[in-house]
Amino acid sequence: MRGIVAAAVGTMALMGGAVQAATPRDALVMAWNLDALITFDPAQIAEVNGNDIIRNVCEPMVNYDLKDTSKIVPGTVAKWAVSEDGLTLTMTLRDDLKFPSGKKATAQDAEWSLHRAVMLGFGNAANITEWGFNKDNIATTIKATDEHTLAFKLDRPYPVGLLLSAMFASGSTGILDREEGTKNAKVTEGKSDYGNAFFKTAPVCVGPYRVTRWNTNDVVILERNDNYYGEKAKLRRVIIRHVPESGAQRLLLEQGDIDVARLLGTDDLKALAANVAATVAIEQTVMHGYSYLAFNGLDPILGNPKVREAFRYLIDYDGLAKTILEYQGAPRASLVPRGAFGALDAADGQPFKLDLERAKALLTEAGFPNGFAKKFILSANSFSPAVAQHVQSNAAKIGVTLQLEQMADAQLFTRARSREFEVLLIGWGAGYPDAHSMISRHAVNPDNRVEAKLAQYPSWRSSWIDAKVNEMADAAKMERDPAKRITAYHEIQRYMMKSGPMAYIVQTIRPIALRKEVKDFAITPFDVAYRTATK
Amino acid sequence: MLAAAWQVGSVAVTLFGLLAITFFMGRLLPIDPVISIVGEQADKATYDMVYHRLGLDKPLAMQFLLFVGDMLSGEFGDALFTGNKVAVDLGRVFPATIELATFAIIIGVGVGVPLGVLAAVYRGSLLDHVARFVGLLGYSSPTFWLGLMGLIVFYATLRWVGGPGRLDVAFIDSIEPRTGLILLDAALEGEWEVFANAFGHIVLPGSILGYASLAYISRMTRSFMLEQLGQDYIIAARAKGMSRWRVVRRHAFRNIRVQLLTVIALAYAFLLEGAVLTETVFAWPGFGRYLTSGLLAGDMNAVLACVLIIGIIFVSLNLIADALYRLLDPRTR
């Protein structure tokens, strides 16, 4: 028996030799949860991982400055000009753009890429269609006038800063290879897929990296594109491994088997932070996304703005941020996130605190001194149950009974989109760093009728409509003087904090833990640049 | 001949029934698969486009027929949450699970059966108590916890084994998948370094899963053996002067082989279903996680294909066990 044990230990030790630590010198190795990744076609990507990766593969026409997200810097487009009447936008592409094959990329490729995004009509086509372009007019409104020039005919004179941030810096403006896309297009029922199936695994794009392997729910590998026009990526490969469990990511990171851990839970982050022999750094980015409570306006009680205001005083914002939401959220009650153009400053954007008496008084004013009972639905994932219990226990103190029901995310979204809820805890991410992104969906509601089914508008989901806000938002959107636009947005935010259909709890934080030897891995809310990283 | 036809028929009816029940139950799930494709922020036009493309606007019976057609074609339709053909996905995740399950069952049988026999023969002894303790622990420890503890001890502290994943990063992509079983592929190509690395990665999750099935197999072996050892023919054999171990080997063990086979087949089938938690902790891209992710995304194509595969596994292991019975037990011939 002793012999067997010794032999077993010996074998293990021998194997130990084969188990090597440390990642390859010329590769960046990341661990993430890749469950939601379903495509690399920039016209279709609708989730976080895909968006993060694609920005390093398909460069947008303009970029957010990595040092200051509210600034725009040129990307594949070198310069832009607006006509006097504000209705024609001319964009000049760089003349040294090349696909990874070395083939020249032209304005015709760019035109085709934008057209296909609109024609395919996936969710993020909205980045383009929101600005008056649609399937019927796109052939005439977005045109390549020569090899380097794209002309955009606008339906209204939008402020150019807003357009650049909302449309041209979005991942939907990556330049794909028209020839490859056309050649490999699939036609079903007379409709072309514009290479959607072909680009799914390998988008042929202008950008610092290219996707060379993708095993679903296992690994994604990017290789440097040596024909990229700009500064070449420092590391030859990026390997993204699917490691769905936070504890496993932490171990891999501590052992040096990965360089970057993208999805760590609060407990693992705390443990990493407490590690004295710290070989690991934690970077926290305040994202332009929220965790918030939504109330159904069709409900006679929750439809009362005073009741909703009361809920805003049932949340211990700072307490949450220090405990359950450490590394996960920063208190923010205004619907425009800090860091966005037009946002209220930290103090003005978060005027609430836990105040049970005030909440009770508001309920009494609203006519419910003895409270009420409501159903409260939420995701079973992450911190949602803990946050919901927090709200539940405070609500109970003023006589409001909340009955919690947890469910899978997919089910929660379905319930939210079909207005089947009373109180709801859910998240939302803004698409770009401009107040318009949140206001246009959370405050504006173009049509509140049930049959309008505007499920992409959380305002509609809450059955909340306010003609005054609709008008204010439209005026702000069209204001070409930046200073006046900011003032207009401030006013809308103050109004919404008083009467809006949501109680925003925190702006989400994205913690990323990385080995100290990794440098210049630029992390911003909308763009994580693997392309600049060294180690 | 008639018996064989009867068997095939009954298998087909079983599988069809399984599919029909899962399909209609799946349609009752309050999860909308369209959302996982278009994203939560999509507008109605996008939503409707995909809803139509998925054929969700067709009558339910029609959807079921189309679905059965997809199944029969062998492609199993599109997996919505990965964007691939389900058959393609299964071709990738299933070998990962087969590899892990086979590793585990070898441990389960290799250790569990002898342990069970010893525990029965030395009933009431220290050995029996140790075996019972080991078994109980294997039954009752959550594999998720065991997995993390195992990683902390053997990977992070002792560095005897590889971390989560099937290979170290340096070896990813280093062999062309032929069977999808990395150990086998590496051996076929003579890539022994890759083999050693893959072995270092499978040994921990494989052992942990193996431990759970070991617990089950050893307990069952013990009780089967005890039943035999109490029989008169054993006493007769001993009385004739046959040695203790000869009796155990030649008589008692032979008589439990059929029962044991059923137990092992069942244990293997359970392992092949995939072990969601173990796969999650060890970042093992296997069948269990695939099925669970599919379910959470409301992706019925993927779920149904998985259910069908599980059905086929159980049915075929049953058939194999039946065939082996005939070999082992002359009375069933």
Give domain status of residue B77, yes or no.
Answer: no
Q: Which residues of B touch A414 (CB under 8 A)?
A: 30-32, 35
Please indicate, yes or no, whether residues B188 and B61 belong to a single structural domain of this protein: no
Most confident of A157-171, B50-64, B167-181: A157-171
A5 compared with A165, residue with greater pLDDT: A165
B274-306: pLDDT as tens digits: 788 899 999 999 999 999 888 887 788 888 889
User: A42-69: per-residue pLDDT in tens?
Assistant: 999 888 899 999 999 999 999 999 988 8
* Cross-chain Cβ contact A217/B36 below 8 Å: no
Average model confidence (pLDDT) across chain B: 88
- pLDDT value of position B31: 76
Closest CA to B218 of B130, B146, B144, B277: B130
Q: Are residues B163 and B16 in the same domain?
A: no
Write the pLDDT tens digit of every residue in A91-141. 999 999 999 999 999 999 999 999 999 999 887 888 999 999 999 999 999
Among B28, B43, B72, which residue terminates a domain? B72
Are residues B46 and B100 located together in one domain of the fold?
A: no
The tally of domains found in chain B comes to 2
Picking from B14, B41, B72, the residue at the C-terminal end of a domain is: B72
**Which site among A5, A37, A40, A217 would you substitute to test the B interface, given the most B Cβ atoms closer than 10 Å to its Cβ?**
A217
Residue at B78 is within a domain: no
pLDDT-derived band of residue A276, with 50, 70 and 90 as boundaries? low
Contact A72, A145 (CB under 8 A): no
d(CA A255, CA A161): 45
**Residue B124 domain-assigned (yes or no):** yes
Mutation target vs B (from A239, A379, A456, A457; most B CBs, 10 A cutoff) = A456
> Do residues B66 and B98 share a domain?
no
Whether A319 has a pLDDT exceeding 60, the answer reads yes
Q: What is the ipTM of this complex?
A: 0.86
B152 touches chain A (CB under 8 A): yes
pLDDT at B333: 65
B259 in a structural domain: yes
Per-residue pLDDT band at B6 (split at 50, 70, 90) = confident
Q: How confident is the model at residue B8 (pLDDT cuts 50, 70, 90)?
A: confident
Same-domain status, B110 and B67: no
B172 and B303 in a single domain? The answer is yes
Q: Mean per-residue pLDDT for B67-91? A: 83
What is the three-class DSSP state of A522?
A: strand
Res A138: pLDDT: 96
* B168·A407 Cβ contact <8 A: no
The CATH number that applies at residue B310 is: 1.10.3720.10
User: Could you tell me if residue B82 is inside a domain?
Assistant: no
**Amino acid at site B77:** G
Residue A99 contacts residue A126 (beta carbons within 8 Å): no
pLDDT-derived band of residue A277, with 50, 70 and 90 as boundaries?
low
State the pLDDT at residue A7: 46
- Is 60 exceeded by the pLDDT of residue A36? yes
Query: Hey, is the C-beta of B40 within 8 angstroms of any chain A C-beta?
Result: yes
* Domain end position, chosen among B11, B40, B72: B72
Segment A483-495 shows an average pLDDT of 96
CA distances to A50, B50, B89 from A240, in Å: 12, 29, 19
| Same-domain check for residues B248 and B100 | yes
Distance CA A325, CA A345 (A): 21
Is the CB of B35 less than 8 angstroms away from the CB of A200? no
Closest CB to A19: pick one of B81, B92, B200.
B200
Rounded to a whole number of angstroms, the distance from the CA of B93 to the nearest CA of chain A is 9
Same domain, B323 and B174: yes
Using left for φ > 0, alpha for ψ between -120 and 50, and beta otherwise, residue B202 falls in alpha
Contacts of A380 in chain B (CB under 8 A): none
Q: Say which residue, B5 or A373, is predicted with more confidence.
A: A373
Q: Which span out of A432-441, B168-177, B252-261 was modeled with the highest average pLDDT?
A: A432-441
Contacts of residue A416 in chain B, CB cutoff 8 Å?
Answer: 40
Cα A171 to chain centroid distance, Å, stands at: 11
- The domain of B103 spans 91-332
| Residues in B touching A213 (Cβ below 8 Å) | 173
Tell me, yes or no, if B149 comes closer than 8 A to chain A by beta carbon. no
**The one-letter amino acid at A224:** R
Residues B47 and B128 in one domain: no
B131–chain A nearest CA distance, Å: 15
B134 in the same domain as B102: yes
* Cα A185 from Cα A176, distance rounded (Å): 13
